[in-house]
Structure 1
Amino acid sequence: MTATILFVDDEPDLEALILQKFRRQIRDGQLALMFARDGIEALQSLEQHPQVDMVVSDINMPRMDGLSLLAKLQEAEDKKSTIIVSAYGDMSNIRTAMNRGAFDFLTKPIDFVDLETTIQKTIRHIDMLREVRRRQMEAERAHAALSRHFSPELAKRLAVSGEGEGIEVQWRDVATIFTDITGFTSLVETAPPETLGQLLNEYVGGMTEVVFAHEGTVAKIIGDALQVLFNAPGDQPDYATRAVACAHDLDAWAQDFCARQKARGVSFGVTRIGIHAGPALVGNFGGNRFFDYTAYGDSINIAARLEAANKNLGTRICVSASVAKAAENFQGRPVGELMLRGRSEPLRAFEPLLPDKFEAPETALYSEAFAKMEAGDAAAMPAFAALVGMHADDALAGFHLKRLLNGAKGIRMQLE
C-alpha cells in the first residue's frame, strides 16, 4: 500500500532533495510525496487530498508556522500523524510540538537516513492504527447486526469474540417462543400508515426488551410476530424455566399495551404465545452478505402450532409437555392432547399460570373436571358447566364444555 506524505517547508531546494532521496520508493509505489510551502498551503492541500497519511513540517515558515499547523491538524477529525522538523537544540519548540500531539521530531540540518527511519516508523504506526480502526469498525458492524437478535451484553461478547464464534450452524436443544397478535391483518387494512408504524414499533420494541431482560434471543421478527430462542447461542441450563418466565412477562406487557391503546381509542389485538422445547438446527443462515441468526426444525414448527392453538382454546399462552416437564416448579393446568396440523402423534399441552391464579380455588375445580374428562367420566360435563357458571370468563373451561356438549369424549382433540 502506498503511503502519501505531505512535506511542508519553505526552503526552495528541499523538494528536489527529498524527491531524489526517495526516488526508488516513489518508483516502486511505496511512497507518494506532496509539498507545501507553509501551513496555509498545507491545509488547503489536505482538504483537496484527504488520503494524505502523514505530514512532515518545518516550524519556521511564513503566514502559518509549523506549530500553528500542528494545532490545526489536531483539531481535525482525521488527525494526521505529524513529524515536526526543528533547528538543532531548539528543545522548547520540540517540547511544545510533542505536547501538541506530534508523533516524532527531526532536527536540522536533516539527516536523510534519520528521516527515512522516522518515516518508516511512522508508517508502521499508521498501519497499526488502520488495523485497530478496521477491527473496531468490524466489531461495530458485528455488534449492530448482533444487537437485532441478542441482549446488549451478549451481543457485545459475541462481537468481541470474533465473527462466527458461537453462532455457527449446529443442532441444539432449545426452548422456542412464538408470539402473534389476533386481528393484526384487519388493523393493517384499516389503520393509517403512520399510526400503524408507531404502534408496531412500540409493540415490537417493548416485547424485545422483555425478551432481552430474560437473556433470550430474538430469532425472527415478521410483522407483529416474534420468534424467540433460549439456550442459543450460549448455554442456558434453565432454558425452559426462562422461557416460561419470559412468556408470562411478555403476556403482561402485551396486555398492558392493549389497555393503553384502548384508552386511546385504538383496538389492538390480544397477543398469543406458544412454547415448545426440543432439538433444532440453530445458527447464522444469512450467507456471506447477511446475518440471520435463526432456527429450523420440527420443534420450531410445534411452537408455532401451539401459538396458533390458543385461538381455538381461548388461552393466551400454550406450552408443550416438554416445557412443563423441564421448567423448574412449573405451575399450570392441563389443556389436553392436541392433534396439531401436520403431526400424526398427539402433543400434550398445558396453560402456564401465575402463582395467584394457580393457587385459586377455580384451578383446583378445573383440575378435577379435567381428570373426570380424561377418565371418560360422564360427570365431567356437569363439572365444567358448574365451573363456567361460576367463572364465565374461563375460556378454556368453556372450550371443553362446548366439546363435551357436542359429543366429544376424552382429552384428545383435533384443532383446525
Structure 2
Amino acid sequence: MNAHEERINGIEAGADDFLSKPVNQQELFSRVKSLLRIKSLQDEVKTQAAQLARWNETLEARVREQVGELERLARLKRFFSPPLAEAIVQGGGEELLKAHRREINVVFIDLRGFTAFTDRAEPEEVMELLQVYHATMGRIVLAHDGTLERFAGDSLMVFFNDPLPIARPAEQAVRMALAMQQAFPPLGREWNKRGYELALGCGIAQGYATLGAIGFEGRWDYAAIGSVTNLAARLCAEAAGGQVLIDRKTMAKVEDLVEASPVGPLNLKGFAQSVAAFTVAGLKPAG
C-alpha cells in the first residue's frame, strides 16, 4: 500500500490528520499546533452553544412570565381601570384580590323611567340604549379611577379606595357622580325624541366592606359586601332623576367641596333607624 492509500485509509478510519514515515519532526509540531487550534475552536463553539441554550431557556421563561402577566392583566382589566390593573400586576398585587376589609365609598346609579321604557320599547331599542349608556358611564368611571363592580341592566355600582387606596375617595366618588349627571342629559334628550322619559338617579355612601374576588375558574368577579353597598343602593332608589344623594359620612368628607342641603332623615328599607341624607347640587365655585 502506497503512502497516498495509507493517508486515505487513516482519514476514513477517523483520523484528524496523517503523517507518513519517516516522520518529519517540524511538520509534526506544526500539525499538532494546528490540531490544538482546531480543538480550541471546537471547545469555544461548544461553550457558546451551551451558553446560547441557557439564554434560550431564560428567554422562554421570561416569555412565559410575560404571557402570564398579560393574562393576569386582561383578567384584572375586567374589574379595574387599565392603569390600576397594570399597577396591580407590576406589584404582584393578586394578593389584593383576596378577601379583605376596608373603608370605601360606594356609588350606585340607575335610570328613572327604565322599567316603563322596557315595557314599551322593542328589545333592540333596549340594547341600543344600554350600549350607549354603559359606554358613556364606563368612560367616566375610568376617568375617575373607580372600581366597577357590575353593570346590571340600567344599574351601575362603582366603589373607591379599593383594591388600592386613593387620596380623597369620597371626593372622587362625588365628582364622578356629578360628571355622570352632566353627561346624561344629551342621552336623555335623544330618547325623549322617541317618546321615552329617562333620567339618572345616584346614591353615595361611605363605610366598611369586605372585598375580594368571588366566582370560579373561568368566571371571576370582584365584589364589595357590606351594609355600605345596601345604603348606597337605597339612597339611589330615593333619588329623583338628576339627583345625587349622599350619606352623612360622605358629606363630612366633601362639605368644603360641594353645594349640598339636607333631605332627611330618610326611612330606608333594610335599615332600622332613619338615615340622614344630603342632596348635592354641584361643586362650589373655585377660589
Q: Give TM-score, length-normalised by structure 2.
A: 0.76
Shift of 1:115: 6.1
2:104 to 169, 174, 177: 174
Identity of aligned residues (%): 28
Q: Distance in 1 between matches of 2:237 and 2:144?
A: 23
Shift of 1:290: 3.5
Q: Distance in 2 between matches of 1:299 and 1:356?
A: 26
1:277 aligns with 2:178: no
Q: Distance in 2 between matches of 1:266 and 1:138?
A: 50
Aligned to 2:270: 342
Conservation of the 8 A alpha-carbon contact between 2:206 and 2:249: yes
Q: Distance in 2 between matches of 1:246 and 1:347?
A: 23
SS at 2:265 equivalent: strand
Structure-2 change in CA distance of 1:355 and 1:156 (3 Å): closer
1:208 aligns with 2:138: yes
Question: Larger relative contact order (C-alpha < 8 A, sep ≥ 6)?
Answer: 2
1:207-286 counterparts in 2 under 5 A? 207-263=137-193, 265=194, 267=196, 269-286=198-215
Shift of 1:293: 1.5
Conservation of the 8 A alpha-carbon contact between 1:167 and 1:284: yes
For 1:263-291, what per-residue CA distance to the aligned partner results, in whole angstroms no more than 9, with x for missing partners?
4x262621111110011111222345443
Structure-2 change in CA distance of 1:119 and 1:261 (3 Å): farther
Aligned to 1:57: none
1:33-182 counterparts in 2 under 5 A? 117-182=47-112
Shift of 1:172: 0.6
Q: Distance in 2 between matches of 1:183 and 1:306?
A: 17
Which ranges of structure 2 fall in alignment gaps of 5 or more residues?
A: 1-37
Conservation of the 8 A alpha-carbon contact between 1:182 and 1:271: yes
For 1:206-262, what per-residue CA distance to the aligned partner results, in whole angstroms no more than 9, with x for missing partners?
101112211111111112211111111111241111111111111111222212333
1:327 aligns with 2:254: yes
2:243 to 316, 323, 328: 316
For 1:78-102, what per-residue CA distance to the aligned partner results, in whole angstroms no more than 9, with x for missing partners?
xxxxxxxxxxxxxxxxxxxxxxxxx
SS at 1:337 equivalent: coil
1:388-403 counterparts in 2 under 5 A? none
Q: Distance in 2 between matches of 1:308 and 1:255?
A: 19
For 1:120-169, what per-residue CA distance to the aligned partner results, in whole angstroms no more than 9, with x for missing partners?
43332232222222222222222222222222211221122225143332
Conservation of the 8 A alpha-carbon contact between 2:192 and 2:198: no
Larger deviation, residues 229-238 vs 194-203 = 194-203
Structure-2 change in CA distance of 1:185 and 1:117 (3 Å): farther
RMSD over equivalenced CA pairs, Å:
2.9
SS at 1:286 equivalent: strand
Aligned length: 249
Aligned to 2:11: none
Structure-2 change in CA distance of 1:125 and 1:230 (3 Å): same
Q: Distance in 2 between matches of 1:223 and 1:309?
A: 18
Conservation of the 8 A alpha-carbon contact between 1:142 and 1:163: no
SS at 1:336 equivalent: coil
Q: Distance in 2 between matches of 1:351 and 1:190?
A: 31
Structure-2 change in CA distance of 1:160 and 1:304 (3 Å): same
Conservation of the 8 A alpha-carbon contact between 2:191 and 2:198: no
Conservation of the 8 A alpha-carbon contact between 2:209 and 2:227: yes
Aligned to 1:304: 233
SS at 1:198 equivalent: helix
Q: Give TM-score, length-normalised by structure 1.
A: 0.54
Shift of 1:331: 2.0
Structure-2 change in CA distance of 1:139 and 1:343 (3 Å): same
Which ranges of structure 1 fall in alignment gaps of 5 or more residues?
A: 1-107, 358-416
1:337-376 counterparts in 2 under 5 A? 337-355=265-283
